[in-house]
Amino acid sequence: MRISDTNLIAAIEALGIEYRPGVSLGPKTSLEIGGTSDLLVIHKHESLPELIRLLKQAGVPHRFLGGGSNVLLPDGELPWAILQLARREPDVRIEGNNVFVDCAADLGRTVTTCAKHDLGGMEGLIGVPGSIGGALRMNAGAYGTQIGTFVREVTVYRAATGRIEILRGAEINFEYRHTSFAPDDIMLSVRLELPSKPYSEILQGIRICNEKRRASQPLNQKSAGCIFKNPPGGSAGRMIDELGLKGHSVGDARVSDRHANFFINAGHASQADMLALIKDVRERVRERYGVELEEEVIVWKAR
Ligand code: EPU
């Protein structure tokens, strides 16, 4: 989406927002799939309500992109202007067992920074790619740890009220890869409360998780992590593997040889390739196991 109204662009820039026309968005996602759009980079959280008000008033459709590690974008010119929080340094402030983090911060870096202050609990999340905001939205989890456990307060732009509000952890529902945030809420910062633990012990936990992950997941390839949620009591990866689908592909979209619930962009896959592969695998799993797999990756459909 190209914003053509120069008055609107001037008003956006006057808010301190960086206007970057025609940005290639694929490289901003871990799948490296996706076309171009105008990108609006938000440097100050406070400018967000006014920015969204301006866009709505001008009838400019928009979407918010987080760390890009769990999203499948459409190709070509996207029909939305894209909003993104600027990365800020330092991202983490620590007071006792409380950790205040900007949602644009990298999840892995946050885990290691906290570890250096003898704050643990999140070791399992170490290799999960993406931002703190994305981890909150999806209630990211791995190796028995989910981020929701540690959340005490979230500062969020609430689409319903058009205001920035602070939600207490207890007011938010954190379930398996799902939360009660509205799709157009935007997470801005969070207060986590982490248990005290010696750095060496945390480091040991991090090493173990890293090893497990390296042994079972295709870390150096372009993916969005697991493509499907696990069905209750089951494993999507195991079912897809048992169907002999490792290496199965549509165009450049391919089921990983290492972990069957990771779908890889093996070259220049399009969104259509990836969606066709998802559909094909889902149908085969349904036929063989009678299980309807639900996508874990967030798919942005242009129409
Ligand atoms: N398995 C196979 N073949 C495969 C993949 C897995 O037989 O190709 C088997 C494994 O041997 C194991 C079982 O399936 O017995 C479960 O596999 P794994 O331990 O790899 O865990 P998973 O259920 O596939 C979940 C999360 C991952 C997370 C790991 C580790 C989901 C959808 N996936 O994977 O999260 O990293 O556990 O805790 O919940 C993600 O969210 O994107 C993600 C990758």
The pLDDT of residue 90: 64
Torsion-angle region of residue 125: left (phi > 0), alpha (psi -120 to 50) or beta?
Answer: alpha
Q: How close is the Cα of 235 to the center of ligand 1, in Å?
A: 7
Answer yes or no: is pLDDT of 63 > 90. Answer: yes
Q: Closest ligand 1 atom, CA of 246?
A: 8
The pLDDT of residue 303: 78
Question: pLDDT-based confidence at 82, cuts 50/70/90?
Answer: very high
Q: How far apart are CA 287 and CA 24, in angstroms?
A: 38
> What integer is the mean pLDDT of 130-143?
96
Q: Assign 35 to helix, strand or coil.
A: coil
- Tokens standing for residue 196: 């005290």
Per-residue pLDDT tens digits for 217-260: 999 999 999 999 999 999 999 999 999 999 999 999 999 999 99
Answer yes or no: is pLDDT of 88 > 80. Answer: no
Return the best residue to mutate from 128, 212, 226 for the ligand 1 pocket (most ligand atoms within 8 A of CB): 226
Candidate from 80-94, 110-124, 136-150 with smallest mean pLDDT: 80-94
Q: Assign 121 to helix, strand or coil.
A: coil
- Least Cα distance to 261 among 232, 233, 241, 291 occurs for 241
Question: pLDDT-based confidence at 50, cuts 50/70/90?
Answer: very high
Q: How close is the Cα of 277 to the center of ligand 1, in Å?
A: 19
Please indicate whether residue 210, judged by its CB atom, sits closer than 6 Å to ligand 1.
no
